[in-house]
Amino acid sequence: MASLDPSLAAAARPRLAAPPPSSAGALLLPRSGALLTRGRRRSGRFSCRAGSAASEITKEKNRADPSNSGSVLLRVSLEHQVKYGEHVGIIGSAKELGAWKQHVELDWTADGWVCQLELPGEAAVEFKFVIVSKGGNEKKWEGGDNRTIQLPKGGTLDIVCNWDKTEEPLGPSGTSKVDRAPKHVVPQTAGDVSAANVAPGTDSSSFGGQWQGSEAVFMRSNEHGNKSSDRKWDTAGLGGMALKLVEGDKSSKNWWQKLDLVRRLVSESADDQSRLEALICSAIYLKWIYTGQISCSEDGGHYRPNKHAEISRQIFREIEKMYYTKGISPEDVLVIRKIHPCLPSFKSEFTATVPLTRIRDIAHRNDIPHELKQEIKHTIQNKLHRSAGPEDLVATEAMLTRITKNPGEYDGAFVEQFQIFYSELKDFFNAGSLFEQLESIKESLNDSGLEALSSFVKTKQSLDQVDAANIQVVMKTLQSLSSLRSVLMKGLESGLRNDATDAGIAMRQKVAPL
């Protein structure tokens, strides 16, 4: 596949969003997984880069267990966004942390800034995070007192930190292993939302772990404001589709305008090269929007979610026509399939004149406190019906976690209705779990298709339940997956007919990404 011009991607992204990749290669579309994964947790090794020279120190993870050598494997994760060109380091009292003289550079991954270090067991360690400018000439220290942690005697300790929150509890005083969770769930107050898990028994959205935007903030009046005032659009050296995208984003504040920009982009491509460029630009742009790295803001207009659904249908029609164009390249096909999951659903319930009305009924219930009603109304209901965006699903996840944190705190009927609304919203954003997506296409399958679907679900659940890799279970799951994929591909092979019904096109949108 043709590589992506790094200037194209660098100019398209907001300068104050997520940290930059280390090279242009990090922006290439992978064959599987997330579209823009800047780094991965290494399965067999880990690395930290220390000092301004950022020399790589690599250690094998499969060495002797730290618990047997009197040392502790400390795994640090920091959730924080920096300016373009900056990176994050950690510095502290232990020599492994630079002895307050030289920072250890953290690696950027899809899970945030991470680092793993082997430290002496039972040691008391102080540390802080620093932001290092491009070139390493300037450092910005996080505020507050030094972070302190008392290490256990041995084993592995995971800690998840948030910038400037130096008083947050760390280490064995809470638990010897801190499970990482998306930062946008579980509010403690009506203010900022802190981390926890989505409600038990409810599948979290596919946004989980990917969201890089602002944390959800619950409000009791309209305080959404303009979030794009600090964005910069650098068009130096750009041309073609990249220039059109960056110029177009200047006047596209909200989500439907950004979707319409993509619609124009994919509709205007004239030849094979411009088509691939338009698809790549659109795929990256949509992914950054869906993960919050490009934020959406209001422009004073009022458009319900059916506006977004209609534009999504137009984009889907356009790229499906491309998909079945004679002579289309494998590169085009790959990128098209990366676009599908980033488009909102255009099922009939979402193209209705007034879609997603359940949240309105929830906000007017009499069995919940007035303050909570106001927060639901202004944080979710009014915002969603006025200027919907991916941030609304993030806020809904946070609210759901809040109301289910203490079982029995809120009326069961209210919680049930909110969970149903959450499922509807995931459906609209095409952000359901794998099993939820499979459930949504059942009505389009015949008996043999339903049999293949049932077989895959059973084997996949068996695979998820085994503690260690079982080759027989793995092979059985792969075989059932291949059978299901064959059924789905057969249903798509005829292409998109000109006389296809809206319901048929909507079902095709559900099937295509799978």
Interval 26-69: pLDDT, tens: 333 333 333 333 333 333 333 333 333 333 333 333 333 444 56
Residue 490 has pLDDT above 70, yes or no: yes
pLDDT 10s digits, 114-150 = 999 999 988 899 999 999 987 777 889 998 899 999 8
Residue 326 confidence (pLDDT): 84
Is 466 or 249 the better-scoring residue by pLDDT? 249
Cα separation, 96 vs 187, whole angstroms: 35
Is 204 or 329 the better-scoring residue by pLDDT? 329
Comparing C-alpha atoms, which of 432, 304, 295, 436 is closest to residue 359? 304
Overall pTM > 0.85: no
Cα separation, 428 vs 290, whole angstroms: 13
Q: What percent of the chain is helix, strand and coil (3-state, nearest 5)?
A: 40, 15, 45
Percentage, residues of the chain above pLDDT 70: 72
Cα separation, 215 vs 186, whole angstroms: 11
Residue 255 confidence (pLDDT): 96
pLDDT 10s digits, 92-123 = 999 999 999 999 999 887 668 899 999 998 88
- DSSP lists the bridge partners of residue 114 as 77, 107
Mean pLDDT of 457-486: 84
pLDDT 10s digits, 416-469 = 999 999 999 999 998 888 888 888 888 778 888 889 889 989 988 888 887 666
- Concatenated DSSP letters of 203-247: PPPTTTTT--SPPPB--SS-----S-TT-----TT--HHHHHHHH
- If phi > 0 it is left, if psi is from -120 to 50 it is alpha, else beta; for residue 135 that is left
Comparing C-alpha atoms, which of 127, 173, 128 is closest to residue 150? 173
Q: At 76, give phi and psi (nearest 5°).
A: -110, 135
Mean pLDDT of 289-311: 92
Question: Out of 79-93, 190-204, 284-298, which region has the weakest mean confidence (pLDDT)?
Answer: 190-204
Q: At 149, give phi and psi (nearest 5°).
A: -145, 135
**Which amino acid is residue 78, in one-letter code?**
L
Token pair of 231 as six digits: 């964005």
Is 373 or 223 the better-scoring residue by pLDDT? 373
Residue 85 has pLDDT above 90, yes or no: no
Token pair of 101 as six digits: 């003289």
CA atoms within 13 A of residue 512's CA, in its CB half-sphere: 29
Mean pLDDT of 338-357: 91
Comparing C-alpha atoms, which of 35, 14, 15 is closest to residue 26? 35
Average pLDDT, the chain: 77
Residue 34 confidence (pLDDT): 33
